[in-house]
Structures are given as C-alpha cells and as structure tokens.
Amino acid sequence: MSDQAKPAGNTQHPLAGARMSGADIVVQVLADEGVDTIFGYSGGAILPTYDAVFRYNATHKRADGTAAMPLIVPANEQGAGFMAAGYARASGRVGVVMVTSGPGATNTVTPVRDCMADSVPIVVICGQVPSAAIGTDAFQEAPVSAIMGSVAKHIFLATDPAKLEDTIRSAFELARTGRPGPVVVDIPKNVQNWEGEFKGHGGLPLPGYRRRLASVLGNKLSDAHCQRFYTMLAQSERPLIYAGGGVINGNATKPMRRWAAEYGIPVTTTLLALGASDTTHPLALHMLGMHGLASANYAVEDCDFLITVGARFDDRVAGDPANFAPKAKNIAQFDVDIAEVGKVKQVNWHQVGVLARDLTDLLAYGRRIEFTRSFATWHGEIATLKKEHGLNYDRNSKLIQPYAVIEEINRYSKGEAIISTGVGQHQMWAAQFFDYREPRLWLTSGSMGTMGFGLPAAIGAQFAAPGRIVIDIDGDASIRMNIGELETATTYKLPIKVVVLNNFGDGMVRQWQKLYYNSRMSGSDKSLHSKDFVKAAEADGFKFAQRLDRIEELQSTIRAFMEFAGPAFLEVIIDPDAGVYPMVGPGLSYSKMITGDYIKSREKPTDVMPGPSEMF
C-alpha cells in the first residue's frame, strides 16, 4: 500500500498542482486507489510507465522496507491477467495488469473475457504506439479498442493527455462498482511522456453509467415489498436459498448467512459461490448444478420456494429452465443487474439493488414483524438427502483415486485454505470434495472455463493473502497452458502448493466422449503425455517436487507436501478412468442426473443423451 493516502472528502491532494509526466500521473493514481501489487510484462510502448513505477518504488517503501507497489513479472501476459484475477477474487480489491502494446495487449484478451464472464474487477493498462502512428500498422500496434471492446466492461483509448488522470480514476470506479468487471485503458506512448499538472481528484462524467448505478443504489426494499416476500415464506414448507457468485462479489456473505440462520433456511451454491455458505454447516448443501452434489440437486427438485441470491440461472445450473425447481410455487430473485431478472427463468418476486443492504433490510423487517416459521420437517429431509445421496467413490481400488487425494489434503486445509484450479475434471473434484468455510477461498474459471487459470491465479492470490495456504489443484493438460508460471512462483519465493492430478490426457473431454460419442476419442487420444512434471518443477526451482504413484504412500506423501514450508509441487498419477459424478447432461433436468456407480440415485435415469449440438 502506498504511503500516499487517498484524499478523503474535499481534502486537497498533497501533490495537487505538481507537474508530472503522464506515466507518473498513472502511477500516482494507482497509489491513490490503494494498489499494492501490479502484474505485468514490459515492452517498448509501456516503458515510460514502467520507469515511473520503478522511480515511485525507489522513494516509497513499506514498513518492512519492501517496495510499496511491487511489479510482478510473469512468464506470459496471460499469466499476468490471471494473477490479477486471482488477486481480485481472493481479496475483493481491483487487480491491476500493466502490459505493452500489440502482443502484450492481445495476450490479455482471454483473462479480460474470463473476468467479464465471472464479474471480476481488474484494470488493464496497455501501452500503445504514439497517437500519430495509430492506424498505420506500426511496430507492435494492435487495435486494442476494437478487440477489447467486445469482451471488457469498458475500454478507454486515452488520446487526450489532459484527461488521463480522470480516465484512470474512472477505470477503477467502473471496475469495482455495480456488477464488477474488467476495464482496459490503452495509453499511447506520447501520452505517457506528456507533462502536465496533476489535479489529485476528479473523474470522467459517465452520466449514463452513474445514472444507472444511482438507480440501483437508490432502489431500497419497501415494507410492502418485504411483506410480499414474507407472505411467500409463510406459505412455504421447503424454502431453499440458491446463492450465486454475486453474493461473494457483493460482499453479501455475512448478511445472507445471518438471514438464512434466522429462519433455518438451507443454502446451496453455484460453482462460483462456494464459501458463501460454510460447507460444513448442517444446512449447507454445497454445490448444485451439472456436477453439483446429488443431495443439492434433489433439494432443488423438492423445494417449494426458491430464493435466488446473486445467481443467474446459467446453463450449468438450469440446463432445462422449464423443469428447474419444478415444485417451486414461488421463485424470488435478488440481483444487482436488472438484465439477469427473468432472462432465463421467470420469477414471482425480484429486487434489483445492493445485496448486502437488501438482505440486511429484509432481516430487519422480519424481526420487526416478529416473523417465525418452523421448517423442522424440511431440515430432516435435508439431513436424509445428505446422508443417502452423499459423494462416494470406489474406496477399494488399487489405483489412486483423485477424490481420496483431495479428501486427504482437505484434512490439512480444514476448509480454510485458498483453493485455485485449472479447468476440467480436477476442477469439479476440487469443488466437490474440499470444504470452504469462508468466501474468497475458491478461485476458478467458471463461465469461460479457461484451462491454464489455476497456477497464475494461485500466485495472484498468494500476493493478496500472504498469510493463507494457497493450493493449486491442476490437471496435466490444464497446467501445460501456463506452466511457465512455475518459475514465477519460485522467483518470488511464494509458498504455494501445486498438485497435478495426472490422468495422461483431457479427462473431462474423454468422459464426454465415452458418454455421448461411443468412446470415439477424437483428439484426446493424441493428448500430450510425455512430460516429466517433476523434472520441470525442479528445473523451475521447486525444492519439493515429488511424484505420487503408489496408493500406500498417499497419506505420508501428502503430509510431507502439506508440511513443506516453501513452494511445493506434487504430481499424482490417478486412475485414468476416474469420472466426475454426479453429472447432469446439458439441456437436461436434475431428474435425469447420472450419479455413477457409487452415489445413490433416487431412480436410474433412462433418456439422458442430449443431441451432439448441445455438447459443451
């Protein structure tokens, strides 16, 4: 954190009126915004701002003598983007990426889209060729505005140096407010080199955005609206909260937990909301959806009042919207974005506003009218669902089961570690078998499903939460996408723990090919499989780098791995036929859920094969 505090109220900034270069203005605004870590890779078009960061850090130190705003250099700009995303997801603050023009900027497209899809606040600062050269196909020029405009929350091309300060401040405002998201600022090199007066305050007008935001902020729950909600709750026998990532993004976990606890309402969460409800709580149903727990999905089938909080009925949860929560007589929806209300599923009651405030006001109204309702019978049914349809697997197999690996690691993490993942089977196993007692402990690419996310996101999270254990659960295919970041972890002496569950190929693709394509392993039979991951980790500086391939050594190896003080790498050779169950095929309802051989199903589904066009 900068020792140059952000001015409060109308207090004049101590540097107001000082002459600065555009690059120095950018860095000072970053400091004013509380930025304490920058992730990025240098290059010609961003060098003025990189130099400004260097000079700022030379004169601004933390109490321990380290730089106030360290610049973390990855192996690739995509890694920088995912590090910023991991930082933002783990901390709730805006992550910052700083890259050069051309390929530097285009390498961040995937992280930007990933953050947009999952509502993650980052600001990407790109260098650009000088203003006069834009449009001439100059060296390392790319049309960043055109490319990023379709995947970011907003994009600025800062050609007016007098507005640069206002633009950077507005980028942070846009990234963190309303529905969070990524904002890109493209700054020509001549604007970075320009010199002018630093104001120390201000932002761009943004009248339309601020008007919409003010509408949401001002839309408070009325007594009449609360009364309608509690009338529906009074009529309910089996209410269920369906919580989405908006609960975590909106810092509404505590208000939601308080409201749920007040009336004893069970909670199930989406993939991105793991930790919004303490998964060890008796009324927590963990995750619902395509690979959600059978007990959670059956609870959705049984509930008569579905209370949707910060969730959007996406296709991985409501694959068959018409038959989602089929017994629900009423559906309520809380969200910050009006576009999500009624987009997929019609609801009887909705509130578009600030989640934390609205849930707090709803609880206050309930207490004021002394609302009471017993759901004891429903609680018993929930307990039975969890007992009879809990997760399970072949516990007598001679091969290492990935579920057993995660269960053993979970014994050490106790639901308090930050878990980051790539995308694939390992991602779902980590979602299912780890406990999450708090929010912002689960980092994964949800809507985009971006392989290569796990390792750089874990690095970003470790900078955001240096006191936490951070574990990357990855797959052999997924980690390859950004395996260069192993060296980043050791270079910065980050004690992250990396687990590669190696089934020698794209396990999730193979699972779908077995189920829906008569085991025609197109492409997945040629997946890369000759890499020695342990040697790769050793070459990148990991002092603990081991391979676990004997089931009898599982407990002792994981104990040594978890107790190792520095960066640790563990490759586990798992059963290549291990699958992710339960599974709800795309476009199907929960009544057609496949539970596999070891999880009890209510009934064996029959017609569960979707058409080829519905794959993924």
For residue 56, what are its two tokens?
């700022």
Q: Which of 140, 163, 487, 538 is catalytic?
A: 140
C-alpha neighbours within 13 Å on the C-beta side of residue 187: 37
Q: Which long-range contacts (CB under 8 A, 24 or more apart) does 588-593 make?
A: 588/319, 588/320, 589/319, 589/320, 589/323, 589/324, 589/326, 590/297, 590/298, 590/300, 590/301, 590/324, 591/301, 591/323, 591/326, 593/294, 593/297
Answer for the pair 356, 335: CB distance below 8 angstroms, yes or no.
no
Q: Which of 33, 116, 156, 189 is catalytic?
A: 189
Task: Write the CA distances from 345 to 232, 271, 330, 359, 432, integer angstroms.
Answer: 18, 19, 12, 22, 26
Eight-state DSSP code of residue 345 = S
140 classed as catalytic: yes
Task: Write the CA distances from 386 to 30, 295, 298, integer angstroms.
Answer: 48, 5, 10
139 classed as catalytic: yes
77 classed as catalytic: yes
538 classed as catalytic: no
Cα 570 from Cα 352, distance rounded (Å) = 45
The beta strand positions in 278-408, using DSSP E, are: 284-287, 305-309, 330-335, 349-352
508 classed as catalytic: yes
**Which of these, 290, 247, 264, lies nearest to 378 by C-alpha position?**
264
Q: Which of 33, 77, 173, 301 is catalytic?
A: 77
For residue 289, what are its two tokens?
């959806």
Answer for the pair 240, 300: CB distance below 8 angstroms, yes or no.
yes
The beta strand positions in 244-372, using DSSP E, are: 267-269, 284-287, 305-309, 330-335, 349-352
For residue 390, what are its two tokens?
């809990």
Q: Which of 232, 508, 562, 583 is catalytic?
A: 508
Q: Which of 61, 139, 254, 600 is catalytic?
A: 139
Task: Write the CA distances from 170 to 87, 197, 202, integer angstroms.
Answer: 20, 18, 8
Cα 583 from Cα 563, distance rounded (Å) = 34
The beta strand positions in 137-283, using DSSP E, are: 154-157, 182-188, 195-197, 239-243, 267-269
Q: Catalytic amino acids?
A: 77, 139-140, 189, 508
